[in-house]
Structure formats: C-alpha cells, structure tokens
Amino acid sequence: MSFFAPTPLARLAALALLGATACTAPRSITTSGKVTPEGEFRLAYNQGFNVGTAPLSKAGTAVKNAASQLGNQAAGGQKVNYSDAVSDVQTAGLAYLLDPVQPTADLSIRYGVIPRLDVGYKYAFGSHVFDTQYQLLGPTGSVENPERGAASGTTYASVGLQYAIQRTGLPNLSFLTDVNNLLGLSATRHDVLIPLTVSQSFGPEESIGAISYGAVYAHSWVSYGFTPSNLYNRAGTAALPPLERQSRNFSSYGLFLNVKVGYKYVYVVPAVSVYYQNYGNYTLVDGSTTSLSGVTFIPSLGVQFRIPSFK
C-alpha cells in the first residue's frame, strides 16, 4: 500500500466537485472577441461564485428558522398546517432554485472549425453546455502564423450562441434541505445565451492575452413542481396534493468584462458578469402566486490552455 499527498490541482478539483452542485447554467463569459483559430483547441477550467440578490432578499433569518422548524416537523411525520411562513419558505426555495448563491465550476473544450467559427462543449458539474462563436471583426491568424496587420491593440469582435440543459435541484445548504423535506421541490431547465464580445489584443493575435467586454442576452425555460410531505391546508383538515408541473420562461440582460493574461500556451482569465432578470410569477402549493426579480453577480477565475494546430 502506498500513500501520497494530493497535488494542488487535485485539491482544487475536489473542492470544485464538492462545491459546484450547479443549479443554473454557467453564465460567466470568459471568451474573447477572437474565436479559436482553425485547427486549434482550447481547454479551460473556470471557478466562480454565483451571487443572486433574489435568494438573499427572500431568505432572511426568520425564513431560515421557519424552514428548519417546519422541515423537521414534516421529516418527523408531524402534520404541518399551511401558513404565511410556509409561503415565505416556498418563495425562498424557488429563489434559490432559479438563481442560487453558491460556488460554480466548469471544464470546457473549444475547437476552431473554419476561419471565424469555433464550437465548444462545457461540463458544469450537472449542466451540459453546447456553444458556437462567429468572429465578426479582426484577423483570423494564429500565434504561430499571425495575419498581416495583427498587432497589440488590434480590435476583435464576435457573436456567440450557447445552449444549456440541466436537471436542477436546491444547493446543498442545511436550510434548503429543510425546505425540501417539507416541499419536495424539483425542476428542469433550459438556457440560451447570446453574448456579443469586443476585445483588444495584447500582442499579435492575442499571443500574451486580451481584454474583453460586451453585452449578453439570455432566455431561460424552467419546469418545476412541488411534492409536499405532511403539509395540510390552513384549517388542517386536508392534505395538500402535489403541485402539477409548472412551466415558466424569462429573459436576462447582462454585461461582462474579462482579462486574459499569459503567453502562447497558458493564460489566466479573471472575469466578472452582471445580469438583471425579472423571473415572473410562480404558483405555490396552495394555488397562490409569488413574483421574483433580481440582479446576479458572477465573479470568476479560470485557466486556459491553448493547443496549436498541427498544420
């Protein structure tokens, strides 16, 4: 039997697997305006943190205490009568489902198919993401074979399309476990993102990096339902049935900034994205509705590896 100390990379991966119980598609924009040159690959790992104002505003101390008490009652087989506290707990659970406050992480690969067009796949520990990017402006050469006119400060621009699908659940937090003991909340989700990116190169063909910024439009389709446990109407005379699957969709509008710094083959990419979304109205177990809206901040730090074309 042999023993070995885990490397820093192994520890980082383990932390990502523990912390990144993804409930939303990755929305941190870490690409530049220049797409992957034809025949090249780019591999990347990105670690971020999703901070939504909606769940923070809906999950105060009183709501968390109520969730703990009510969830423990339901888990212990005790009858819980519907109340305003149950309504508040449902709203907080929905807010965390739609826009959690939690770590995020993803692994991705991109390939340059033809000049000005690349495709990619991203695995976000629960989300599967497929995307493509088309370059609208700037040279299409590579670090090894720069186009004439490519220099430091050259402007690039591109438009992308990203599609993500995932079966979502509540983050692994104690009060949300209590929420699920009472409500049995589950959902599936599809997201489309369309980022417009502009960047300025550091060195010819981004050989030492780039600064990138832009705007992004996103649209999400959510299907959710409740399967309550030991939850009764306000009078306590009848158990509340499961809420049939509900479908909702909403738009998000965002701005982003990222900086890629390195040399030829390895780059570090700090980034920040900010989104606003009005999630709309959501039906609760008793048939009433609640509305949600908020701003989301997503800071992240990633590392990118470039594999040149063999041509």
pLDDT, residue 184, reads 86
Alpha helices in the chain (DSSP H): 8-19, 53-58, 61-75, 84-98, 174-183
Say how far apart CA 13 and CA 36 lie, in whole Å.
25
- Confirm whether 164 is domain-assigned: yes
Unique residue bearing structure tokens 């530049």:
32
Number of neighbouring beta carbons within 10 Å of residue 163: 14
Checking DSSP bridges between strand 231-232 and strand 80-81, what pairing results, if any? Answer: parallel
- Confirm whether 277 is domain-assigned: yes
Say how far apart CA 201 and CA 258 lie, in whole Å.
12
- Confirm whether 4 is domain-assigned: no
- Confirm whether 1 is domain-assigned: no
Say how far apart CA 23 and CA 50 lie, in whole Å.
10
The set of residues, in sequence order, having a beta carbon less than 8 Å from that of 71 and lying 6+ positions away, is 177, 178, 179, 180, 181, 182
pLDDT, residue 1, reads 37
Cα–Cα nearest to 248, from 61, 98, 83, 45: 98
pLDDT, residue 11, reads 37
Contact between residue 282 and residue 94 where contact means Cβ atoms under 8 Å apart:
yes
> 138-152 as b/e, with b when 16 or more CB fall inside 10 Å?
bbbbbbeebeeebee
Structure tokens at 105: 């992480």
Which residues are paired to 188 by β-bridges? Answer: 167, 223
Kindly tell me the burial class for residue 311, based on how many C-beta atoms sit within 10 Å of its own C-beta (0-12, 13-18, 19 or more). Answer: exposed
Cα–Cα nearest to 141, from 245, 36, 220: 36
- Confirm whether 39 is domain-assigned: yes
What CATH number has the domain bearing residue 245?
2.40.128
DSSP result, 162-180: EEEEEEE---S-HHHHHHH
Conformational region of residue 116, where left means phi above 0, alpha means psi within -120 to 50, and beta covers everything else: left
The angle formed by the CA atoms of residues 213, 217 and 223, to the nearest 5 degrees, is 140
Domain that holds residue 170: 15-307
- Confirm whether 75 is domain-assigned: yes
Say how far apart CA 281 and CA 278 lie, in whole Å.
9
Say how far apart CA 250 and CA 68 lie, in whole Å.
30
Say how far apart CA 46 and CA 222 lie, in whole Å.
25
Q: Render each residue's pLDDT in the chain as its tens digit; 311 residues.
A: 333 344 433 333 333 333 344 456 788 999 999 999 999 999 999 999 999 999 888 888 878 888 888 888 878 888 889 999 888 888 988 888 888 888 889 999 999 999 999 999 999 877 889 999 999 999 999 998 888 877 888 999 999 999 998 876 666 667 778 788 888 888 888 999 999 999 999 999 999 999 999 999 999 999 999 898 889 999 888 999 999 999 999 999 999 999 999 999 999 999 999 999 999 999 999 999 999 999 999 999 999 999 998 76
- Confirm whether 151 is domain-assigned: yes
Cα–Cα nearest to 279, from 301, 250, 299: 250
pLDDT, residue 68, reads 85
Side-chain-facing half-sphere of 68: CA atoms under 13 Å:
10
pLDDT, residue 6, reads 41
Rg (CA), the chain: 23
Number of neighbouring beta carbons within 10 Å of residue 30: 24
Say how far apart CA 55 and CA 93 lie, in whole Å.
8
- Confirm whether 55 is domain-assigned: yes
What is the domain count for the chain? 1
